[in-house]
Amino acid sequence: MAKTPKTTGRINLMFRAFSDRTRLRILHLLKEGESCVGDIVDVLRIQQPTVSRHLDYLNKAGLVCVRVAGTWRFYSLAPANGAFHEKLLECLACCFEEVPQLQTDTIRATKIKKMGGCCPGVRTAPVQEKTKQTCCC
């Protein structure tokens, strides 16, 4: 199948999304399920405008989905849209587990979720059951 300019552009956006440490940290957090912007800010310990800018980029790249509930915005990983996207998600699931900063983020995220997060009155969407993925590497 020939690549169209639109497909090539989307793949380029995905590669650029994966080339940024902050965006990788966000994607890694979202592999555990939906999260609001405030919780992502608390976990990453960076300013809200920076997080929002990266989430916008990830959304344009087709890597995350957004759900609006009142004034809250909740983000989750977008379902795979093609083989290339699927392989990137597989890589996210297994290739970055040994990065110390991502392990620290996971620990911090678990603590924040146990405390109810920044918007405890707003219910998050149910987490879809995870399927066992094999490593792409």
pLDDT in tens, the chain (137 residues): 455 666 678 888 888 888 899 999 999 999 989 999 999 999 999 999 999 999 999 999 999 999 998 888 999 999 998 888 888 888 877 877 777 888 899 999 999 988 888 876 665 554 444 433 444 44
| 132 belongs to a structural domain | no
Largest CA distance in the chain: 49
| 129 belongs to a structural domain | no
Q: What is the pLDDT of residue 10?
A: 81
Joined tokens for residue 64: 């995350």
| 130 belongs to a structural domain | no
Rounded Cα distance, 30 and 112, in Å: 14
Residues 72/121, Cβ–Cβ less than 8 Å = no
Type of residue at 134: T
- CATH number, domain of 70, equals 1.10.10.10
Domain count, the chain: 1
| 17 belongs to a structural domain | yes
68: enclosing H helix or E strand: strand 64-69
| 56 belongs to a structural domain | yes
Q: Taking the C-alpha atoms of 51, 55, 57 and 61 in order, what is their torsion angle to the nearest 10 degrees?
A: 150
Q: What is the pLDDT of residue 131?
A: 38
| 117 belongs to a structural domain | no
| 42 belongs to a structural domain | yes
The domain in which residue 91 lies consists of 5-110
75: enclosing H helix or E strand: strand 72-77
Rounded Cα distance, 84 and 14, in Å: 9
Joined tokens for residue 86: 């699927």
**Residues ≥6 apart with Cβ < 8 Å to 71:** none
